[in-house]
Structure 1
């Protein structure tokens, strides 16, 4: 049996380290996805962003194939893996759902998918792994050991600000923190 394990991180650097640790533990890059905000992505054109992996992080494995993808409601993100390919296909085909649809197709609940998409919109990075049962504990240990965002606390914060779900028609998030 395979299940999808997904965590959000406040920054790309932490997520990048998680991906590298997963690969070092023997998790195939084809089972790992990363979608997130990185300052270098906003300065790049999505059409020019394919293959920026060595410049943004990781010269080998999944991160070497990192590219830039523009997601409605999020803006430009760095992305690699099956989740990025699914989201890119939805965007290119103007299919409904984008990142949220990709996450729910991977088995996440609607609430979790909206949370992760909003976290990316606000500057975070999502790492998602398709893990066989025998690898799930290792994947969770690596992902949780990197201090992912506390989902419940962050959802409470978002809701206190009036948020109730990811809106792909919204303008990309502009932080008010200086």
Structure 2
């Protein structure tokens, strides 16, 4: 059964710590997603912009990650513009989900994209507000309950907030 485990990191450093811990625990970069608002412009990241879709989604490679090396390890990291919502940095499977929302001009923008990924609406609204407030959303797609438990433990050790998991065919669960 496929599962996804989500959390909120309050700082970029905390997000880096979580991603590094997930990498050390053996989770592949293709199963980890990170999303945060790009409020810093190019001060923290050097973007190599490549327009992939003329309808509004812009993705590109990230170079010069410096202290952001753990995030640079993730698959498909780049910038993403969601019309009416703003610029974001995204990596992993969330990039494709939100890229589709951006291109389609989906109602609800980011919330619609998060719901499309299987996040319940009330959690998607919570995450949307936290991301726009400067926090990072991290998710890991897992194969079994042992991996779900391992991810939740990594999140808890790092002090992450709003830890939730979802699985196909079941209701969402909040971490204890």
Q: Which residue of 1 aligns with 2:4?
A: 4
TM-score relative to the length of structure 2 = 0.73
Query: CA RMSD of the aligned region, Å?
Result: 2.7
Greater alpha carbon shift after TM alignment, 79-88 vs 52-61: 52-61
Partner of 1:136: 148
Hey, what does 2:99 align to over in structure 1?
A: 88
Q: Which has the higher strand share?
A: 2
The number of residue pairs the alignment matches comes to 150
Name whichever of 128-137 and 45-54 sits farther off: 45-54
Query: 1-side partners of 2:157 and 2:123: how far apart?
Result: 20
Q: Which residue does 1:52 correspond to in 2?
A: 62
> In the alignment, which residue of structure 2 is the partner of 1:71?
82
Task: Call closer, same or farther: CA 1:39–1:94 in 2, change over 3 Å.
Answer: closer
Q: Which one has a larger percent helix, Structure 1 or Structure 2? A: 1
Partner residue in 2 for 1:124: 135
| 8 A contact 2:115–2:124 mirrored in 1 | yes
Distance 2:84 2:12 in 1: 19
The equivalent of 1:19 in structure 2 is: 19
**Structure 2 regions of 5+ residues with no counterpart?**
50-58, 164-176
Question: Residue 29 and residue 71 in structure 1: after superposition, are their counterparts in 2 closer, same or farther (change >3 A)?
Answer: same
The TM-score, its normalising length taken from structure 1, stands at 0.72
